[in-house]
Amino acid sequence: MESAIVATRHGKVRGRILENGVSVFLGIPYAAPPVGGNRFREPRPPRPWDGVRDTVEYGPTAPKPGYPRPFDRLLPEPVVPGEDFLNLNVWTPDPGRSGLPVMVWIHGGAFRNGSGAVPTYSGANFARDGVVCVNFNYRLGVEGFAHFPDAPSNRGLLDQIFALTWVRDNIAAFGGDPDNITVFGESAGGMSVTTLLSLDLGLFRRAVAQSGAGNVAQTPEDAALVIAEVAARLGAEPTAASFAEIAPSRIIPAQAAVAAEVSMFPDAGRWGASTVRTAMSHVPVLDGDLLTRRPEEAIADGAGAGTDLLIGYNSEEFRFFLMPNGLADLITDEVLTPVASAWGVPRRVLDAHRDLHATPGEQLAAVISEALFRIPATRVAETHRARTWMYEFAWRSPVHNLGACHALELGFVFDTLASITPNGLAGPNPPQPLADTMHKVWVDYATTGAPGWPQYTPVTRQTRRFGDPDNPLVTAPNDHLRRLWHD
C-alpha cells in the first residue's frame, strides 16, 4: 500500500494513496477526547504525538442511537467504538500541491445521528476532481446539545467551530487553500451551516446549506423541558454533574425515547414551541453567548454578508419520515389539522394543499416539507446580503413511495451512488448523469464561486431544479404557496 505523510500542528500523520492518486487520511484527532474531565466541556486541543500516526482507518464515531427500521436500511450508520471520536477525515488530490479549493462537510442526522464514516460522505471523488475534502464528527444528542445550568451550551456547535479552525490552521499541509474554504452540510448539517454563517466567524468563504436553513434554535426554557424529561427517565438531576456519572450507553435509550415523542406528538405545552417547530429534541440553544438569536434573524440583519451562499431543498422532503414506515397511512383529517398547526402551518396553507394531494398523509408530508425546509430556505435566500443561489432537487426515487425526499440528493452531490445499496434511498438504478451534473456544480462553486445559473433575488427568484430536464431553471417555483406563508 502506497502511503503519504503530512505534518499537522499536533504531529505527523500517514495516509493511504488510492489507485487514482488521491491521498486519504482518516481519523485525525482535531480535539481531545470529550470524556472524563472534558465531558460536557468546551472542546480542547488534542495531545501532540511523537513519530508518525497511522490514519488509514476511520476513527471512533460519536455515541448515538441506531436508526429504527426501515431507516437503518435507507441510511447506513457505521459505528466505530472508542473515546477519541472528535476526529476528521481528509481526501486530497496531492498533499504536495498548494492553493487547492477546500470543502468541509458537516453531516446531518437530527443532531443525534451521523458521522464522517458514512460511505456516502466519502470525499474521494471531490479530491479526484481537484478539491481537498474534509468531514468530521461532533458531539451529538445530550452530549453535544443538552442545555445544562452547569455546562457550556452548544457543545456540538463548538466542536464544529473547533474542527473548522483546525482546517484553517492545517489544510495547507494537505495542499488546500485556507482562504478558499467552502463549508457544506445537509439536514442538521445544513442547519449548522446557516448557524455558522450567522456567526461571522471568518472561517470560510462560501457555504452550501442542503435541506436545512436558519429557523432551528431552542429557547433555554424549552431546552430545559426536554433535558428534564430525559433526566427523569434516568432517575438523574438535569445537570451536567449528574449526567457525567451516567455512561452514554445508558443515556441514549432515554434520549431516543424522548426524541421520538417530540417528533411524533408535537405538544408545545409539554416541550415548548421552539422545540416542537423543529421536530427535534436537542438542537442549538439560544444561550445568549454563542447564539443570541435565531440564525435567520441574524442573517436578515446582515450577518454572513461577506460569504457566498448556495441554499436549497428537496421537493418532497418529509415523505422520507412518513412513507417508508407507513405513518402516512395513519394520518386522518382529524389528525392532520392539529399536527400541522402545532408545526406552525397556517390554516390557509393547509387548505391550499387539500386541493393538491389525495390523502391526509400526503397533505401532511407536503405542508411539513414547506414548514421545515422550503420556506425557511427561501427566507434565508431572500434576506442574505451577499451572492446567493437557490436550488431544488426534484428527482423522485422509485422505492418506498419516497418521491424527491429528504437526504436523497446526497449520493448525487458526492458522486457516490455506487456506495448506495439497491435497497437504499435511490433504488437499484439511480441516474449517474444527474450525479455527474450535480457533483460538478458543487465542485465548480467551491472552485470558482459560480455554480452556473443566475443569482437568486426576491425579484427574480431563479432556482436551479435538478432532476427535471424539461425545467432546469425555473422562476419563482410554487410562488402561490410561498405567498400564502408570507401573507
For 332-393, the DSSP string reads -HHHHHHHHHHTT--HHHHHHHHTT-SSHHHHHHHHHHIIIIIHHHHHHHHH-SS-EEEEEE
For residues 62 and 32, is the Cβ–Cβ distance under 8 A? Answer: no
- 3-class SS string, 396-410: CECCCCCECCCCCCH
* Number of CB atoms found within 10 A of residue 76's CB: 15
C-alpha cell of residue 7: 505534518
Which of 102, 103, 105 has its CA nearest to residue 115? 105
C-alpha cell of residue 34: 470529550
Element (H, E) at 299: helix 295-300
What is the distance between the alpha carbons of residues 281 and 225, in angstroms, rounded to a whole number? 10
What is the distance between the alpha carbons of residues 276 and 212, in angstroms, rounded to a whole number? 16
Strand-strand pairing, 473-475 and 11-17: unpaired
What DSSP character marks residue 121?
Answer: G
Annotated catalytic sites, by residue? 187, 317, 406
Q: What ranges in 118-236 are assigned the alpha helix state H?
A: 124-128, 141-145, 155-170, 188-198, 220-234
Which of 169, 167, 179, 175 has its CA nearest to residue 22? 175
